[in-house]
Each structure stands twice: as C-alpha cells, then as structure tokens.
Chain A
Amino acid sequence: MKKRVYVVVLVLVFCVLFLKACVRRDYPDNGEVRNSVQKEVVYTEFPPSQKTVRIDGVDYLQSQAPIGKFGGEIHSSTIGEGPKTFNPFNSKDNISTLMSDIMYDGLLSTDAETGEPIPKLAKSFEITGNDYIIHLRRGAKWSDGKEITADDVVFTWQNIIFDGFGNTSTRDSLVIDGKLPAVEKIDKYTVKFSTIQPFAPFIRMLSTSIAPKHVFEPAVKKGKDYFYTFLSTNTDPKTFVTSGAFRLKEYVPAQRVVFERNPDYYIINKNNEKLPYLDRLVYYIVGDLNNEVLKFEGGELDIINLQGANVARFKEREAHSDYKIYNLGPNTGTMFLSMNLNDRTNKDGKFYVNPMKQKWFRDVNFRLACDYAIDRKNMVLNIANGLGEPLYTAESPNSIFLNKALKPYPRDVEKSKEYLKKSGFYWDKKGHLLDKYGNHVEFDLLTNAGNTEREAIGVMVKQDLEDLGMKVNFKPVEFNTLVNKLVNTLDWDMVIMGLTGSLLEPNGGKNVWMSDGTLHMFNQRLEGDENSRRFDWEKEIDDVYVKGALATSFKERKKYYDEYQRIAYEQKPFIYIYSPLIITAIRTKFKNVYPSALTGVTYNLEEIYIDKGQ
C-alpha cells in the first residue's frame, strides 16, 4: 500500500515538473518597452489630399498616395457577435455601423490629418449661413450601374432619416423647436440643406450613408416595421446595391464577413486606374480578445488592436517580426469617478441619496479634495501597463476641441486636506474623517463587475481616498444592475464608469452634459424632475452647449466648448482618471498605411495595397 502512495506522488511530481517546463515564463513587466511604446505617439507624413479630376465626363476622386499593386486580401476582426444588420439606418452597435459604412459611402468624410470635413460622395460643398449646398459627382455609380444622383440624397434624408425610419438618433439630434432641417433638390447633381438656425454639428452628420432610392423606396413604402427587418443579416449578398469601395460577398454567421472589391468605384490612383487595390476584405467574428490575439499570432489576422500586457509582448518581438505597432494616442473613451449630486426625492418622498451624504457630494470642496487625492499616474502605470494618458478634462486629449489651458496636476494630499478643512471636515484621533456635524464620512463606490480594468481602478481609488480618512466600501456590481441604478433608481453614492466621446464633435456629449440629458449621470433627472433646482454651473453648461451648437465657425465654437471644459474642470462633477491608448499592429506588407490619431489605421482602405518584395 505504501509503495503505491510513493508511486502516485512520484508521478504527480513528474507531471508538475513536466508541465512547468512547458510553460514559458511570462514576459517581465518591462519598463523600457513600456516607455518606448508610449513615446512613439504616431507621427505620420500624410500624402496630399485626394482631389477631384474629370475624365470622360466622370468626376473621379484621385488618390495622391503612391501607386501600388492590385490584388490580395486583408484580414481583420471584430469582437462579439458580428453585425446585427447591414442596413446603415438600423444599426445601433459599432460592428453593424462599421459594416454598413464600408458598403455605403456618405457625402462627406473626415480628413485624417486635420479632422476637417472633406468631400467623398460629394464633389464639393459650400456653407452659407444656414444653407449647405452639396455638389455631387457626375458619373459615380451604384453597384448595379445606376448613377448616384440628388434624388438618392433627398430620398435618404427626407424619406428615411427625417421621416423617422430605423435608428432615429440622427433625426432626434436635429430637431430644433420641433422642426427639422429642409432638404431640396436643386438639379440632378446639386442638393441644398437648410437648417432652421445655424447648427454646427450638422456638417459632421453629412457623412451619414446615402441609400439607393430605387432599392430603399419599396421598403420605406411598406412601413417602419418592415424597414426594421429590411437588409437584415439574412439578406442574399447579391441583392445589395451599394456605393462603397467594397461590396458584400458573403456573411457566415459567427464566423466572418467577406467583402469584395467594387470594380467600378469612383476613386482612382495617379495612373487613373480604379481603386481599391485589394481584392478582398475579410472580417473574422471572434468571441473574445484572447482568441483575437491567438489568431493574429497564428497569422490569420493582418491587423489587431492590442491591449494591456500584450503590447509589451508584441513590442519586444516587433523588430524580428512582420508587423509594425502604431500608437494612435488616447482613445475617445474617458474613465471617471462620479458622485451622485442628486438632492431630490423619489415618488415615495424618500431621498435618492442620504441627505447627510448629499451635503458632502454637493460640496465642491469635497469633490476637489477627492480629485487631488487620486493618483492618476500610478493608475496608468499599474493598471494600464503604462498605456494610458492621465485625464483632467472632459474632452479626450486628442480632441480637436481640447481646452489646452487646463493643466494637469500631480496628486497632492495636503491640498486635499486643505479643501476638506475649508468645509469644516475634521479628523478624529484615529485619523477618521468626520464632517462638521460629526458624521463619519463613509460611502459606497460602485463599478461594473467583470470589467477588470475598472475593478482595479476601484481598488486604487479606495486606497487613495482612504488616505484622507474616508471609509470607502468598494462594491463591483453586475453591469445591468449598475446601469439600472444610474438611470432609474438613482440610489448610488459614487461610481467608476466610462463613456465614449468623439474627437471631432463635442455636441455628442449633449445627453451627458445638458442638465435634462438622458445620461446626466451625476445629477440625473427623471421624468417629472424637469423643473427641479439646478446648480448655477449646470445652467452655465446648458447655455454653453446650446450656443456651441448654434455657432458656426470653429473658433467661436471652440470658445464655448473651452468654457464647458473649464467649468467641468473646476466643479468636478466627473473626476477624470485616464484614457487608454489605442495601439494597433498591422503587417508590414501593407503599404500606403497612414495611421491617424483621429481616424485610425484603415480609413483609407481603397489606397492600401500589398507589397511583399522588399
């Protein structure tokens, strides 16, 4: 019997050692690598902008990038369940939007270098006051050979968007005093949009996809319910009539979406050959990040966004590999700590937030004290592997509207204590913080469980705040529960959340910053609370947001949005923490890659080509 035990133990030891030998040691947390990635925020020399040339009566858009070779494929990926619809007007999620943007071009797009609106399906545009005049390309065609004309544009805007088909977010944001902009056809190649009053964000909305009238009109006539299922993912790829550089070839659920070259696209190269260069564009649908990384390592993917520890690992091997890593700077996501400033009661007359806590959270000194106590740099180093940028402003550091006058500052516990003292807080002998009525400062800090990044931030925020003598109960809760608390039941004290914004248009943050917005989290007003008391600075932000949307010149708008960032910086309804960096790896065989902090890496898919020989 004893002998057997020995044998078993020996076998086990052998197994453990054997397995241990197989496991490669994890890459060390290499500070040098980290720094080298961080310093190389991408600097790209962009080719001259594309320009319109007329050949045989057709207005082509001519790429000014170096001439490449035709052929080949690029394999990319999306995480999640894949597209939910191919109808550009129904999409509500990023993946569906990405897919329909490939298939349907918009009138305008964004310059990768400057962020200015530039013509795409439009040949040119003029803005005079409230009027936007769009000149279309002559001879640009749908994939079934029909010409793209003003009728398609007017139909798209009037009969689909303004009439409220599909996802109505664009329409809803354009309603001013119950009125919508007007759109009218001037001639076959000219369309005029007129807004009721100056509305600057409108120009960005002109990048919305344009639909072929002859295909969409029958669907629109069948009503909204039918339209909701129109061009669903079950549609036969051959029946799509599209205008983009690539057209749908195949959709295999839970596996991939394959696009093929549009042979009659309106963008040409300097030799006047029709682009795109690539024959095919494949998006794999992968379930999670790990699988995506494995697919890239296995050579099945050509391009990937890297996160966390993977960056250091890939960076180390970059020199001997066939890919190059680009740091595109902070993404549009903002991670923040927010307090519940709500002082209202629910239907039963009960306060959403305990009145004792209300006095703390609604006190700007308390918020500033918390702000100064937070060690952002430490969090970037320890949680984001150094791949993030500490954040102090409401706009992302890459935004063209960033208020550069708002300076970063380091952690300063002494300053925090001063702010607290100013409001009458004091410490007992054990170092616990008490407010001026003698209550212990203790509250709950929530975030969504399962998001390891936010959970890690929560732990560090808790430590930082406990240095001030506060008692913080950190409770990660399930995502849906958290959202329900934030937008419905409003029974929370402090939360760590993230939101995505836009680098080009702050007006998208309207729902967050306007005091009656649907996501005005820090002081959420439910139905019936519309006329409740507001902070003076909330009113100021409302005012600035309205004016910022009405102003037309960039300079004037910037002034207003600078103002809102300043108020947010001083009042700290959100205590911003950091923005993660976007790190993208792409195989070096792809040429004409001009990464841009504003538009990413693959915005110019039609110009990208493969060159293996070097």
Chain B
Amino acid sequence: MQILIYILKRILQSIPLLIIVSILSFFIIRLSPVDPLAELRLNPSVSKETLQKETERLGLDKPIIVQYGKWAKSFLQGDLGITSNGEQVSTKLKERIPNTLLLAVVVIFMTWIVGVPLGVLAALKWKSPADRILTVLTSIGMAIPSFFFAVLLLLFAVKTGWFPVGGLTSSNFAEMSFGGKVLDITHHLVLPVTVLFTISLAGLQRQMRANLLDVLDSDYVKFAKAKGLSEFKVVYKHALRNAINPMITLLGFEFAGLLSGAALTEYVFQYPGLGRLILEAVLRSDINLVMASLMMGAIMLISGNLIADILLIITDPRIRVKGGVS
C-alpha cells in the first residue's frame, strides 16, 4: 500500500516536469531559424500556391503559442499528430521502436552478463595481473570513440566480406525460413552490438569493481571475515548484495537511454532504429516527430528512475525501514 502511494506521488511530481520539458523543447525548435519548407522553397518547380498550402497544413502561419496549444491538446488525447510528410507519427515510431529495443536489449543483456562477473572478479583479485589486464582492456574500451570504432568495423566488413555493410535484414529476408531469419538478423547485429557492448562494458565493469571494493573494505565485512565466515559466504551473501544497489540505479538510467542512446552507432551502421529517425527529423524540423521522441525520452527517464527506486525498495530493506518510502 505504502509503495502504491509512493508511486502515485512520483507520477504526480513528474507532471510539471513533463510540461516544462515540452514547452522548452517546442519553443526551442520553433524559434530556431530552421524552416521545414526550405527545401521546397528552393525547388524551381514548386509553385507559390503549393507553398502556401503546405504552410497552412503544417500550421506555420499561426502564432507559436497557438501551435503549442494545438500540439499539447492532441498529445493529451493520445494523438501524436502527423509528420511533415503526412504520415502518422505513431506508426513511424512503431516501425522503429522494436528495432532499437532489440539492439538495446541484446547489448544490455550482454554487458550485464559479462560486465558484472568481470567486475566481481577484478575486485576479488584486486591488484593481481588479471585485474590489471582487465583494467587496461576496459580503458581501451572506454577510450575508443564509438563513432570511430563503428567506422573501423564497417571497413572491416567491407574488406573481408564476412559481415553485411549495415542494415538489419537482407533483401531476400521475406522468403527466409524462421531459422534463416534469426540467423540473418544475428549476422547483421554482430557489428553494432560489438561497438555498443565494448563501450558500455567498460563502464559497468569498473563500476562493479569499485562498488565491491568499497564494500569489501567496510567494517562489517572485515568483522564477518574475522568471525570466521567462509570467504564465499562473505562475498556472495553479504558484500555482493550491498554492492549491487548502485548498479540498479544505473540500470534505471540505461533504460532511459534505451530508445535513443545509440544514435551515432545506428547512423554509421544504417541501422533502422529510432536514433536515425530522430536525427533526420531534427534536421528537417519535423516538429511533431521531434516532440514525440523528446517526450518519449523524458517519460522513459522518469519511469526508468521510478522502476530503479522500486527495485531498490525491494532489494534494500534499509530504505523501507528508514522511511525512504514516505
């Protein structure tokens, strides 16, 4: 019951935040000198009448406050509006979200599966050669700019011919058997996943290592060891449980970055995800599309944090007792 009230409060708190975010983004986009019709204006075969009609259709002839009001009203009614090309924003997003989710989930899953154990290993073998090697490797991972790494891998794909040059599916995808489809997607995913995995693995592994080292250094662990508890019990039952808490907060943020975090990598690999869509929309000043994706980002961030907090309440009894839920 307490948790429910807590969630409700958090949701209420986020409403003004969302309003501010939407107003800020809307005005910044609209007040920037980007003209959605610039391309059309410079096309000699487009007539004055067509331009006029386009201006009216996009509502560009109205004051900006009215434009915002119109947008906000339809947003509240669940209508994201149409893009500047007349397509439904919601269908546009629906086309891309599964692709980006697929990429993000695979990457997060892999980094956690690999990163957390490596972090634990490094912390337990502190200052051993294994720890040192892992530190060097993760430093390299952190140091390579994702953009550059992606381009390198793409060149690798071209030279060897082992991997497709970007995209998500082959041109004969529709005729493949189910197994063939899975293989085809996997084949296309290898390179982008490698890039994102390398970049985020480093951060996660280091975080885990630092957390665990902190905990291992604390008095209660020393006490437990002194008391004669087995090393295994100390580490995996007591230390790890405490060390994992900050990681859950981190997961909340990662959830927020899920849908838009990999834009650069998506762009280089021509991956049909949200990042590319949003980038192109911003360049075109396609207001409805940009607003929808910004709002989605904001909502994801808020709900990501909320979920992380709820998970913390479940895993960490201290918060419950101390009145973290209040």
Contacts and interface: CB of A to CB of B under 8 A. Distances in A.
Interface string A89-131: 0101100000000000000000000000000000000000000
Nearest to A256: B171
Interface residues of A, number: 58
Given A480-B38, A499-B44, A518 B85 contact: no
Nearest to B173: A252
A377 interface: no
Interface in A497-514: 497, 499-501, 508-512
Interface centre among B34, B92, B95, B171 (most CB of A within 10 A): B171
Given A75-B171, A228-B86, A480 B45 contact: no
Interface string A460-498: 000000000000000000111101101100000000010
Contacts of A484: 33, 35, 38
Interface stretch (B151-159, B210-218, B229-237, B294-302): B151-159
Interface string A173-189: 10000000000000000
Nearest to A173: B47
Given A73-B171, A252-B272, A253-B272, A92 B87 contact: no
B45 to A, nearest CB: 5
A254 B46 contact: no
Interface string A567-584: 000000000000000000
B79 interface: no
Contacts of A233: 87
Contacts of B174: 249-250, 258
A47 interface: no
B72 to A, nearest CB: 22
Interface stretch (A289-297, A386-394, A430-438): A289-297
Interface string B226-245: 00000000000000000000
Nearest to B85: A84
Contacts of B86: 84-85, 90, 228-229, 232
Interface stretch (B13-21, B58-66, B160-168): B160-168
A255 interface: yes
B267 interface: yes
A49 interface: no
Interface stretch (B2-10, B48-56, B125-133, B253-261): B48-56
Contacts of B41: 483, 487, 518-519
Given A258-B171, A287-B270, A294 B50 contact: no
A509 B39 CA distance: 16
A296 to B, nearest CB: 9
Given A282-B171, A287-B270, A295 B47 contact: no
Contacts of A479: 38
A136 B181 CA distance: 45
Interface in B280-297: 280, 285
Given A254-B277, A300-B164, A85 B42 contact: no
Contact of B87 (A169, A234, A512): A234
A252 B285 CA distance: 23
Contact of B95 (A75, A253, A298): A253
Interface string B66-101: 000000000000000000011110011001100000
Given A92-B46, A254-B277, A480-B33, A286 B270 contact: yes
Interface residues of B, number: 49
Contacts, number: 133
Contacts of A253: 92, 95-96, 272
A256 B96 CA distance: 14
B276 interface: yes
Residue of B34, B39, B41 with most partner-chain A CB within 10 A: B41
B40 to A, nearest CB: 7
B40 A295 contact: no
B207 interface: no
A431 B10 CA distance: 71
Contact of A168 (B49, B92, B157): B49
Nearest to B160: A298
B169 interface: yes
A286 B166 contact: yes
Interface string A522-564: 0000000000000000000000000000000000000000000
Contacts of B270: 254-255, 285-287, 291
B165 to A, nearest CB: 4
Contact of A300 (B43, B53, B165): B165
Contacts of A414: none
Contact of B44 (A167, A297, A501): A501
B50 A172 contact: yes
9 contacts: A168-B53, A169-B45, A252-B169, A254-B270, A255-B169, A258-B174, A287-B267, A291-B165, A291-B268
Interface of A: 73, 75, 81, 84-85, 90, 92-93, 167-169, 172-173, 228-229, 232-234, 249-250, 252-256, 258, 280, 282, 284-287, 291, 294-295, 297-300, 478-481, 483-484, 486-487, 497, 499-501, 508-512, 518-519
Given A258-B174, A298-B164, A508-B45, 11 more contacts: A84-B86, A168-B53, A249-B174, A253-B92, A254-B276, A286-B270, A295-B165, A484-B38, A499-B42, A500-B44, A509-B44
